[in-house]
C-alpha cells in the first residue's frame, strides 16, 4: 500500500510502500494502512522495550543515561562520555563492549574521529549505549558479561519476555541485529501497543521510567538534527524511536500511538508519514508540519516534497 509519493514539480517521481498503524488512547485502531499485523523486525525501535527489560532485571539508570540506553546515538562527545560513564559505574570498560565497531553517525563527529586517525570502534557505534546498559545489567544481576549477546543468555531471555509482554505478540523470529545483539520479531500493531504501554505507565515502573527519560532527553536518544529530536520538540510529551530499514514508533502520554515500516527500507519518507499519522491521531500545529516536511531538491533548491498518502500532504 502506498504511504508516500515523492513529487517533483507536480509529477510523481517515486512511490514508497509501507505499513502504518495508529491507535487511539483506548488502543483502538484509527489508522491502518498496509498490514499492521504482519511479522517484521522492529530494529532499533525495540530499544525502549529492551531498556524496560533491563530495568526490570535490576539496572538502575534514569535521566540522560537511561535515554542513552535506549538510543541509536550519533556519537557526539557527550554520547560517548555517557557510554563510558555507564561502563565505569558497573566496573567495566570499553573493551567489554561487543557491538559491531563503527564510526559516529554525526558527520562532524565522524570527521573529527577520522581526522584523528581513529579506526571504527564499538564505542563510537550508535548502539553502544544499549550495549553498555546490557553489560551493566549483567553486572547488577550477577550474570556473565562475556556471553551477553547469546540469545540463550538470561539477559536476552528477559528481553524477549518483555518484548512479548509489552507488544502482546509472540516472538516468532529471532535474528542478529546490525550491532550484534539478538533481534526479536513483532508486528507494527504490537510495536505501537508497546509504545502506548510505555508512554502511559506509572512513573515508578520500569516502563514509566523509560518514558520519562525519552520524554525529557530526546537528544540523548538520537543526536543533533535527528528526526526523533525534531518530532519530540514539535509534539510535547511525545516519546519516539527510529529504527533501521524505515521503522519508526511514537506515543503520547494519553496512549495515542503509531508505528511505521517503509517496505523499501528508505528513511526518506519517514518524517512525512509519521507527521501524517500523528495528525490522523489528532495532533497538529505548525511545528509538526515543519518537522514532517521533506523537500525534494533540484539544483539545491526545493522543487517538490515527499507527500504522505495519509491525511493529505505535509505543509512546507
Domain boundaries, the chain: 39-106+121-261
User: Residue 311: what pLDDT?
Assistant: 64
- Terminal Cα distance for the chain, rounded: 24
Contacts of 25 (CB under 8 A, 6+ apart): 254, 255, 256
**Strands 29-33 and 11-23, how do they pair?**
antiparallel
Residue 223 confidence (pLDDT)? 98
pLDDT of the residue at 316? 41
Q: What is the pLDDT of residue 138?
A: 98
Q: If you ran DSSP here, which 8-state letter would residue 14 be given?
A: E
Regions in the chain scoring below 70 on pLDDT: 311-316
Report how far residue 6's alpha carbon sits from residue 307's, in angstroms, rounded to the nearest whole number. 6
Q: Where are the alpha helices (DSSP H) in 30-153?
A: 47-56, 63-69, 77-89, 107-115, 128-141
209 is written with which cell numbers?
A: 521510567
Burial of 241 (C-beta count, 10 Å sphere; 0-12/13-18/19+): buried
* Interacting residues of 268 by C-beta distance below 8 A, sequence separation 6+: 6, 16, 294, 306
Fold assignment, 39-106+121-261: Beta-lactamase (3.40.710)
H-only helix segments in 90-242? 107-115, 128-141, 154-167, 188-199, 206-216, 218-221, 227-234
pTM of the predicted model over 0.75: yes
Amino acid at each position: 500500500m502506498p504511504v508516500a509519493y515523492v513529487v517533483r514539480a507536480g509529477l510523481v517521481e517515486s512511490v514508497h510502500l509501507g505499513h502504518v498503524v495508529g491507535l487511539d488512547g483506548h488502543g483502538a485502531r484509527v489508522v491502518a494502512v498496509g498490514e499492521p499485523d504482519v511479522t517484521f523486525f522492529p530494529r532499533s525501535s525495540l530499544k525502549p522495550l529492551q531498556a524496560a527489560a533491563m530495568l526490570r532485571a535490576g539496572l538502575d539508570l534514569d535521566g540522560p543515561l537511561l535515554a542513552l540506553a535506549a538510543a541509536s546515538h550519533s556519537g557526539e562527545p557527550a554520547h560517548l562520555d555517557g557510554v563510558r560513564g555507564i561502563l565505569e559505574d558497573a566496573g567495566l570498560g570499553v573493551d567489554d563492549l561487543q557491538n559491531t565497531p563503527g564510526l559516529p553517525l554525526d558527520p562532524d563527529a565522524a570527521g573529527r574521529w577520522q581526522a584523528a586517525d581513529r579506526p571504527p570502534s564499538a564505542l563510537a557505534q550508535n548502539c553502544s549505549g544499549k550495549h553498555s546498559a546490557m553489560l551493566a545489567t549483567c553486572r547488577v544481576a550477577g550474570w556473565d558479561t562475556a556471553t551477553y549477546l547469546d540469545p540463550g543468555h538470561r539477559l536476552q531471555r528477559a528481553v524477549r519476555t518483555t518484548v512479548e509482554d509489552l507488544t502482546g505478540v509472540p516472538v516468532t523470529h529471532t535474528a542478529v541485529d546490525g550491532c550484534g545483539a539478538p533481534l526479536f520479531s513483532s508486528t507494527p500493531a504490537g510495536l505501537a501497543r508497546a509504545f502506548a504501554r510505555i508512554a502511559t505507565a506509572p512513573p515508578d515502573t520500569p516502563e514509566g521510567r523509560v518514558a520519562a527519560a525519552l520524554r525529557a532527553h530526546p537528544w540523548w536518544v538520537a543526536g543533533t538534527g535527528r528526526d526523533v529530536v525534531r518530532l519530540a520538540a514539535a509534539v510535547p510529551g511525545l516519546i519516539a524511536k527510529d529504527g533501521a530499514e524505515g521503522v519508526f514508533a511514537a506515543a503520547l502520554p494519553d496512549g495515542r500511538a503509531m508505528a511505521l515500516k517503509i517496505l523499501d527500507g528508505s528513511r526518506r519518507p519517514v518524517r512525512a508519514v509519521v507527521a501524517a499519522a500523528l495528525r490522523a491521531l489528532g495532533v497538529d500545529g505548525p511545528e509538526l508540519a515543519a518537522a514532517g516536511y521533506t523537500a525534494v531538491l533540484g539544483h539545491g533548491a526545493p522543487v517538490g516534497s515527499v507527500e504522505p498518502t495519509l491525511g493529505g500532504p505535509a505543509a512546507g
